[in-house]
Amino acid sequence: MNIFKNWTDEHTKTFGNDILTVSHNLAETGLFTDEALAILLDKHPSQKLDVCTMSHDKKLYPNKFRTGDFRDCDGKALIEAAKAGKIWINVREAMNIHPEYKAVLDNMYGEIALITGQPSFNARGSVLISSPAAKVPFHCDQTETILWHIRGKKRIYLYPPTQEFLPDNVYQSIITQDREDDIPYTEDMDKSARIFDLAPGEMISWQLNAPHRVDNQSYCVSVTTEYSTKESAFKNSIMYTDSILSQKFGIKSKWSEASLPEKYIKSFAGRLLRKLNLNQNDNGQDFVTFKIDTSAPDYIVDIEPFPRNF
Ligand SMILES: [Fe+2]
C-alpha cells in the first residue's frame, strides 16, 4: 500500500530541514475507527497507556498534563470520555507492540526511507486519541518527530528551534530528566509561530527539536512517530555532557558556539556518561491526580495524589 498521496521532489528536499505537510492514507487501514481503537485500548498494556487532562495553575507552563487513573474503564468508555470530556490519551508504542499496527509502521518508515534515501532507526509510533478541548502544552521532542493526523481537526503552532524559544539549559534538563519535555511559554511567542490547521489525512513534520504546541478543534485521532538519526543522537550526547558539566562543575556551555572537535569529544563523553548514569536526578516521579469516572460531568474526578504504580 502507498502511504503518501502527493509526495513530490520538493517534499524530499524539505523533509527534516523545514516544516512539511503531505497527505497520507492511514485511515484506509481501518485501524483507527472508534471500534478498532476500543479493541486496541482493551489489549494495550496499562504501563504504556497515558490518560491525561490539562491543568490550569502553572503560569509559565499552561495546560501542563496531569496523569489520570483509567483502570475502571474499558476501551469503549475511554473513547466516550475522549469524545465528551477534557482528556488526552496516548497509546504509547501501540504501533510497535501490536502486529497489525506494526505492519503499518514498517510501511510508513519503509516508504520514507525509499523516497528520501534517509535511513531511520528505532522508529516508535503511538496512537493519540483526544478530546475537542484537549491542548498539548508547549514542548519539544528529543528526536525527529512526525505527526500523522487521521481524524478531526487540530491546530499546531510551530516555533523556531532557537535560543529564544528553546534555551540550551532548558534542553539540557530535558535530556537528563528524560520524561519532562515542557518548556516555559508566554503568549507573545505566538508572534513567531507558524500555524497549521491539520485536516484528516495530513502528515506534518518539522526540524529536529522545533518547539510546538497543539490545540484541538474537535475530537481527534492521530499517530505520532519518533525516530533517531545520527544528527539527533550526536546532539543529545553533547547536550548530556553539557548538562553534567553545568550541574557538577558550574560550567556553562553553548551548543551554538561549540567547535566541531569540542562537539566530537563531548559526544563521546556523553555516550559514556549516559551509560554510567552519573546523573541521578530523580525529579521524574509521576503522580496520579485524577481518575476517569463515566458518571462525572467531564469524566474527571480529582483524587488524593499517589505515585503512578500501573
Ligand atoms: Fe511533540
39-73 pLDDT, tens digit each: 999 999 999 999 999 987 777 888 889 999 999 99
- 128 CA to centre of ligand 1 in angstroms: 11
Structure-block grid coordinates of residue 30: 481501518
pLDDT digits (tens, 9 = 90+) for 214-238: 999 999 999 999 988 888 887 887 7
Residue 273 in this model has a pLDDT that exceeds 80: no
Q: What is the pLDDT, as a whole number, of residue 284? A: 60
List CB-based neighbours of ion ligand 1 within 5 Å.
Answer: 141
Report the pLDDT averaged over residues 242-247: 78
CA-derived radius of gyration, the chain: 20
Confidence of residue 36 (pLDDT cuts 50, 70, 90): very high
Residue 251 in this model has a pLDDT that exceeds 90: no
pLDDT digits (tens, 9 = 90+) for 80-129: 999 998 999 999 999 999 999 999 999 999 999 999 887 777 899 999 99
- The answer to the question of residue 41 being in a domain is yes
Residue 243 in this model has a pLDDT that exceeds 80: no
- The answer to the question of residue 74 being in a domain is yes
Confidence of residue 171 (pLDDT cuts 50, 70, 90): confident
Domain that holds residue 121: 9-167+183-229+288-304
- The answer to the question of residue 193 being in a domain is yes
38 burial level (CB within 10 Å; 0-12, 13-18, 19+): middle
Q: What is the pLDDT, as a whole number, of residue 248? A: 76
Q: What is the pLDDT, as a whole number, of residue 215? A: 97
- 19 CA to centre of ligand 1 in angstroms: 14
- 186 CA to centre of ligand 1 in angstroms: 18
CA-CA distance, 180 to 281, in Å (whole number)? 12
Q: What is the pLDDT, as a whole number, of residue 158? A: 98
Residues 66 and 52 sit within 8 Å (Cβ to Cβ): yes
- The answer to the question of residue 213 being in a domain is yes
* 203 φ/ψ angles, rounded to the nearest 5 degrees: -105, 145
Strand pairing of 212-216 and 20-23? unpaired
Confidence of residue 280 (pLDDT cuts 50, 70, 90): low
- The answer to the question of residue 256 being in a domain is no
Report the pLDDT averaged over residues 286-305: 93
- 261 CA to centre of ligand 1 in angstroms: 31
Please state, for a pLDDT cut of 70, what percent of the chain lies above it.
96
> Which H or E run contains 255?
none
Q: What is the CATH number of the domain that holds 299?
A: 2.60.120.650
- 275 CA to centre of ligand 1 in angstroms: 26
Domain count, the chain: 1
CA-CA distance, 119 to 133, in Å (whole number)? 37
CA distances from 137 to 8, 157, 216 (A): 32, 10, 11
- 87 CA to centre of ligand 1 in angstroms: 17
pLDDT digits (tens, 9 = 90+) for 115-125: 988 777 789 99
Q: What is the pLDDT, as a whole number, of residue 1? A: 66
- The answer to the question of residue 275 being in a domain is no
- The answer to the question of residue 277 being in a domain is no
89 or 245: whose pLDDT is higher?
Answer: 89
Confidence of residue 277 (pLDDT cuts 50, 70, 90): low
Q: Scan for cell 483502570, then name that residue.
A: 71
Mean pLDDT of the chain: 89
- 14 CA to centre of ligand 1 in angstroms: 19
- The answer to the question of residue 45 being in a domain is yes
244 or 210: whose pLDDT is higher?
Answer: 210
CA-CA distance, 281 to 259, in Å (whole number)? 28
- 140 CA to centre of ligand 1 in angstroms: 6
Task: Tell me which long-range contacts 181-187 makes (C-beta under 8 A, separation of at least 24).
Answer: 181/139, 181/140, 181/141, 181/142, 182/61, 182/64, 182/137, 182/138, 182/139, 183/138, 183/139, 183/140, 183/211, 184/60, 184/61, 184/138, 185/60, 185/61, 185/62, 185/137, 185/138, 185/213, 186/60
CA distances from 100 to 44, 90, 97, 202, 203 (A): 13, 18, 9, 21, 20
- 143 CA to centre of ligand 1 in angstroms: 10
Q: What is the pLDDT, as a whole number, of residue 262? A: 82
pLDDT digits (tens, 9 = 90+) for 150-163: 999 999 999 999 99
With a CB cutoff of 8 Å and minimum separation 6, the contacts of 181 are 139, 140, 141, 142, 174
